[in-house]
Amino acid sequence: MKGAFRALELNNLTIGHRPLGLRELWYIEQTPCDIFFSREGILTRLAEKNNPLTNQNIREWGDSSISRVFIKMEDYPKIIERQKENLRNHTRSISIGEPVEIGRKQAILLTICLKYFYEDTNNDELLTLLYQSVKSYSTFLINNIGVHHQIYNDYSKLKFHYIYSQPLLSSLFLIGILKHARIYTEKEMETAFITSYFKDVGMSAISVEKYDLRVLSPTDKKMLHEHALNSVSILANRIPLNNSQIKIIEGHHIFSTLTRELENFELNVDDGLNVYGAETLFISITDIIAAMINDRPYRNATSLFQSLDLIKELLIVQFPQEFKLIVSYFKTYFTKGQS
């Protein structure tokens, strides 16, 4: 019971305050409000409003075992507005500067703002900003294929919660594979990247804490299974998605083990899976690989070899050429550090 009383005590002390992960403060150059941390159950001011704030400050806080900070509830919109403005400004100047730092910063800001959208999926302004920023980022990644591996390494180390990082990681792999194929136009790659990035916004229907559980209830499993349809409901007629993109989002979980469990069928590649072209296949497969090779709260990461071994079972009979392309890309990506 000691732990329960401790949690209750901390909850009472933080009434009227909201916890923030340190990552949400990245690239905020001046604190828009007072920032606190918990010291022996007491909220202590860490930084005052309008103080300079650097990424080095944030790293030092993390090194001193501060994993999260607190702000007053009424100040949370100030943090959101500051990060939206950061994303807007960085997107406008995305072609200027050192490519690795540009790509890393855009990835971080997109992830932070995606979290805010998950919290308020009715926010049209934020959705439009995300769409425009993702579109610009796709062009940057297409034109800077050699920095993908460094962006992946740097971004992965930040350990964002996977429901916010998964869209970025899987879409980064997708652009690399499509570029590696040498048969897709820049417009086709841009369209696929946008589709891949937004395909999972329906996961916002479940609270983030649910995704940390090792065992989901039947109701939660059903909601997770339906996240692709929820994504379509959230996105339809709000950002420019064509019918093919909608179909891809609807069908991108065709290879999911949860799909097989809830729809009561065994995967049989001879059955002719309902795949809407190679784009759906690549979007689905990069989603699986990104999920498998990165840690999740309930499962440790597997090796790339293990993930490709599973992909082989899924693709080798019906899609042998696509499988060879995927293997060729990842072999280059992880052995040479470039794609």
Q: Mean pLDDT for each 10-residue chunk of the chain (339 residues)?
A: 45 75 94 92 91 93 90 96 98 95 97 97 97 98 95 91 93 96 95 96 85 73 80 94 92 61 42 59 92 81 90 90 94 65
How far apart CA 60 and CA 197 sit, in angstroms, is 32
Nearest Cα to 162, choosing from 280, 330, 301?
A: 301
Model pLDDT, residue 278 = 79
Total-model pTM: 0.87
- Partners of residue 69 on adjacent β-strands: 20
Whole-angstrom CA distances from 271 to 2, 266, 286, 321 are: 56, 10, 22, 18
The whole-number pLDDT of residue 14 equals 62
68 sits in which H/E element = strand 68-72
CATH superfamily ID and name for 146-336:
Hypothetical protein af1432 (1.10.3210.10)
Domain boundaries in the chain? Answer: 1-74, 146-336
* Burial readout 217-254 (b: 16 or more C-beta within 10 A, e: otherwise): eeeeeebbbebbebbbebbeeebebeeebbbbbbbbbb
Q: What kind and span of H or E run contains 121?
A: none
pLDDT at residue number 41: 77
Is 37 in a helix, a strand, or coil?
strand
Confidence (pLDDT) at 339: 39
Q: What pLDDT is stored for residue 276 in this prediction? A: 55
Q: CA 19, CA 7: separation in Å to the nearest integer?
A: 14
Question: How many residues can be counted in the chain?
Answer: 339
pLDDT at position 65 is 87
